[in-house]
Structure 1
């Protein structure tokens, strides 16, 4: 199951980077990148890995996510640079969708690496304190803290100096509120996945003994 969790985590990261160019609105004031819809599910995956497989395995998953994103940036750059066929008219659209600005890419990588490591750290500390109890607490506390850091770092690096400070703060607050409630909403998912994995592990042990 760990292999599938790692694959899903890395796949969602790459997909989030691709769809991030689209902006959508909630009401009149909340403008968010489409990546938010995908990115909010990466933290529960990390939390499940820490809960079931431990801190060190989760840190390996985070590092794998960083390496994979760097590889994706490299190969996307290569494919953009390839000479297009004379009859193909989609080069400009292809570039627009797949090539973000260097500043946004750097902001994304830095915020990802710092916030996910914080998530692992906080979750592990709370797990050591409470044991198997209060999964809901460590899931939400770690995700909410790391999402706040992720949002603040990303928006600050990506947009500081290009928009007024008030707008910058508003962007951080709006995105974090969405992520805050998304964290609460995904808590049952974490419980369900953890329960399913542990049940599967117990069944495998019974089969191995018998």
Structure 2
């Protein structure tokens, strides 16, 4: 079995550049998901999921790449950085809501307020859910890797996501939408979002994880990693 290594990179300059790109994409996708989550998608009279569900699995995918390539400690640092970027998003957008505006853009300003006045609650829910879910996801991925070594990457990524998504989805929906939707819809949203995230990751994100990790290993001379 391969020994777990937190920083298995030979060429550290190339590795740092790749780390910056992956981290930047993760943070961007995560912030985008939080803003998109304001919109709920309803079909046949049932609220299925929020729009952020579409992009969120790809942020999780990049979290898997970080853990797989750079180790749990580095992934944890990026998770905390994402946490603080979300706080900055709340402060900046909420300030924008309360600043005065000219009368001729009243309609635009009202639309802005409708979207971003709700963002703090979304982000609060997302912060708690993301922090717990991503840390669980990274920890489970490492634990599975200790058992499987380099083989069965899909088992590590999907297996860890099953645990992370369960925590993330349940906590997020309950905090973000409790009191605004019927209990039936909340339960339905949790189940549907959980399944949707797993399907998106399994069918779309997992092949991308394989491609990105293989590229990083070849391009940046990465050793066997945990």
Q: TM-score scaled by structure 2?
A: 0.83
Aligned residue number for residue 20 of structure 2: 3
CA distance in 2, matches of 1:166, 1:80: 32
Aligned residues: 204
CA distance in 1, matches of 2:182, 2:74: 41
Partner SS for 2:49:
strand
1:121-200 counterparts in 2 under 5 A?
121-160=139-178, 163-185=181-203, 186-200=205-219
Change (3 A) 1:3 1:166: same
State the shift of 1:99 in Å: 2.1
Segments of 5+ residues of structure 2 without an aligned counterpart are 1-17
State the shift of 1:160 in Å: 3.8
Aligned residue number for residue 119 of structure 1: 137
Partner SS for 1:196:
helix
C-alpha RMSD over aligned residues: 2.0
CA distance in 1, matches of 2:25, 2:44: 31
Does structure 1 residue 20 correspond to structure 2 residue 37?
yes
Segments of 5+ residues of structure 1 without an aligned counterpart are 206-210
Determine if contact 2:37/2:122 at 8 Å carries over to the other structure: no
Aligned residue number for residue 97 of structure 2: 80
Partner SS for 2:38:
coil
- Say which of 98, 108, 121 aligns to 2:116: 98
State the shift of 1:31 in Å: 2.0
Q: Deviations over 1:91-148 (max 9, x none)?
A: 1001112221654432221111110110110011112222211111000001121111
Aligned residue number for residue 42 of structure 1: 59
123-132 or 66-75, which deviates more: 123-132
CA distance in 2, matches of 1:12, 1:99: 21
Higher relative contact order (CA 8 A, sep 6+): 2
Q: TM-score scaled by structure 1?
A: 0.89
Determine if contact 1:144/1:183 at 8 Å carries over to the other structure: no
Partner SS for 2:55:
helix
58-67 or 172-181, which deviates more: 172-181
30-39 or 135-144, which deviates more: 30-39
